[in-house]
Chains A and B, each alone.
Chain A
Amino acid sequence: MKQNSQLFKGSLSTIILKLLDENGKMYGYEITKKVKELSKGNVELTEGALYPALHKLEADGLLEVKIENIGNRNRKYYSLNKAGKKETNLKLKEVSDFIIQLQQVLNLKPTY
């Protein structure tokens, strides 16, 4: 089942920040592949959603950007800076609290 719902879109920046926190530096295509791999193909991150979110995080001063030459083309790598690391922890806590509150309200039972 492919999931591309608003729920995921709302958490996109948190997903990107967390991936960068875990993997150090990453480039756009690598992020889409990693999301697909981690969700076992259930979440497909489109380019139209990924790049605006990445560029917003960059403009917010949370990311460091580096251009590296990889043979016959250049690649733009993103990594977290100090403010980005702080923001990642904050966002993860927010998501974690949200899940707990949602669980309390909806009283969902695990399906596995």
Chain B
Amino acid sequence: MALSKLQIDELFVFTEKKFVKWYDLQVELVDHLANKIEEELDQNPKTNFEDALKKVYASFGIFGFARIVREKEEQVRKFNNKLWFKELKTLFVWPNLLKSLSLLLILKLMIDFIPMEYILYAGLLLAIIQTGFQFYKARMDRKHAAKVNRKLLLTQFVFFPNGFGYLYFQFWINIWRFDEQGDYIAVNKYVFLGVVFIITSSYIAGINVARKIYATAKTMYPEVFKAA
């Protein structure tokens, strides 16, 4: 006996009550529960939906969905890290290598021809704008999640752009060094060049990963991205 739409909705509410807050995991568990309940109702036609659900949930053991949720979160985190490293490596393989070398050349020309203080002012300004944008985006994401009431684990740990944004901000703050007279102490140009290059490459890789993950999420769970 196939479950009704109303009963499926009840299963979504049930998984949420059992601390499965991720919609992508709920979809899988709801289908599993539904299959088992349908089988139970076919074998014991006198059983009702609620009793069948209790029986089926008991078969998940005393920890219920807890282990499945915990391990899935861990796997998604690892997967994102792996994807980021893979993406970072592609920046140094042809044809992306050309772009990376161009970036390095532009940075080199900048530090050769523009006074260091100006570069630092510009960098700090960019870091402030970027941080402001991050806060704005995080606020919008939270608003959207509250509207559609569905959160995806798949996109939950896409934090590399944000993480590196923070690192970038810290870098521009910490690079300001002054002596006792209040004069700026110049940093080693090439150390500066190296650090900026690494942070920028990491940041680009993070953005590429975020784009790919969101594209996958939109294909798999279009209902989450529809406006409420």
Interface footprint category on B: 20 to 34
Instruction: Evaluate whether A67 and B3 lie within 8 angstroms (CB atoms) in the complex, with A51-B28, A73-B34, A74-B31 already known.
Output: no
Query: Which residues of chain B are within 8 angstroms of A67 by Cβ–Cβ distance?
Result: 27, 220-221
Given the interface pairs A47-B60, A76-B28, the reply to whether A52 lies near B71 with Cβ below 8 Å is: yes
- In the complex, the answer to whether A59 meets B78 with C-beta atoms within 8 Å is yes
Q: How far is the CA of A67 from the CA of B25 in the complex (A)?
A: 12
* CA distance in complex: A70, B2 (Å): 11
The reply to whether A51 and B72 form a contact with Cβ atoms under 8 Å apart is: yes
Judged by DSSP, the binding face of B is helix
What is the interface of chain A mostly: helix, strand, loop, or mixed?
A: mixed
For chain A, the bracket of interface size reads 20 to 34
Chain A neighbourhood of B63, CB < 8 A: 48
Which chain B residues lie closer than 8 Å to A82 at the CB level? none
Given the known inter-chain contacts A29-B36, A71-B2, A72-B4, please indicate yes or no for A55 contacting B71, CB distance below 8 A.
yes
Asked if B75 and A58 sit within 8 Å, CB to CB, the answer is: yes
The answer to whether the Cβ of B188 comes within 8 Å of any Cβ in the partner chain is: no
**Is A86 part of the binding interface, using a Cβ–Cβ cutoff of 8 Å?**
no
A-to-B contact residues, CB < 8 Å: 27-29, 46-48, 51-52, 55-56, 58-59, 61, 65-67, 70-76
B residues sitting closer than 8 Å to A (CB atoms) are 2-5, 8, 27-28, 30-32, 34-36, 59-61, 63, 67-68, 71-72, 75-76, 78-79, 82, 220-221
A to B CB contacts below 8 Å, 14 in the list:
A48-B68, A51-B28, A51-B71, A52-B72, A52-B75, A55-B72, A59-B75, A59-B79, A61-B82, A72-B3, A72-B4, A72-B8, A73-B34, A75-B31
